[in-house]
Amino acid sequence: SSGIPVVLIDRDVPSLSAAGRVLLDNEKAGRIATRSLLCKGRRNIALIRYETSIATILDKEKGYFSELKSNDLTPRIEIVSRQSMDREISSAIKLCKEDGIDGFIFPSNTISIAGMSAIHRLGYSIPEDFNVVCFDQENVSGVYTPGVDFVDQPTNLVAEYAFRMLKEAVCNETPMSTLILNPIIYSNK
């Protein structure tokens, strides 16, 4: 170790045991997103994501999966290629509609934008055809009509806490710690 303080933001690297961490509870975020759709009466909920090994997305998927299982419902996960995401997400949404899916979770900003665009292109309506929960959409959630629910990743707060942790480590030699932030869902009823 070089003795230089490091704070990880939104991604964990378990091998960096001395690093500080400011993370969102992504598994809880997946549960909250799913619960939001369940509260709107949706029972056939699919999660669409792209191929990835990014833990934040996979943790949201775990939360989705566990929330549906705890309600005796069957999860459906559609995985699309990042290279042909627009085409594949349109196909996945069409198939889901044919199979009776009535709600979608899009667990990242990129997939949220692609998913909402595909729903619009395909001529489906929210909330008549589907209810949707997106992630990290605060800055564009008002663009969608009607509005969609979104789980915010508070980047300003994450940055503020990371800066404070780093400053304390440098100025006061305070040991690094892990701070897990609770997700916040914004609902458009």
| Rounded (5°) CA angle 122-125-131 | 115
Most confident range, picked from 10-14, 45-49, 112-116, 134-138: 45-49
pLDDT for 6-25, tens place per residue? 999 988 888 888 899 999 99
pTM of this structure:
0.89
pLDDT for 51-106, tens place per residue? 999 999 999 999 999 999 999 999 999 999 999 999 999 999 999 999 999 999 99
Contact 150, 184 (CB under 8 A): no
Residue 153 has pLDDT above 90, yes or no: no
In the structure encoding, which two tokens stand for residue 88, read together? 């594949």
Q: Which long-range contacts (CB under 8 A, 24 or more apart) does 177-180 make?
A: 177/20, 177/21, 178/20, 178/21, 178/23, 179/20, 179/21, 179/22, 179/23, 180/23, 180/24, 180/25
pLDDT band at 189 (very low <50, low <70, confident <90, very high): low
Contact 32, 64 (CB under 8 A): no
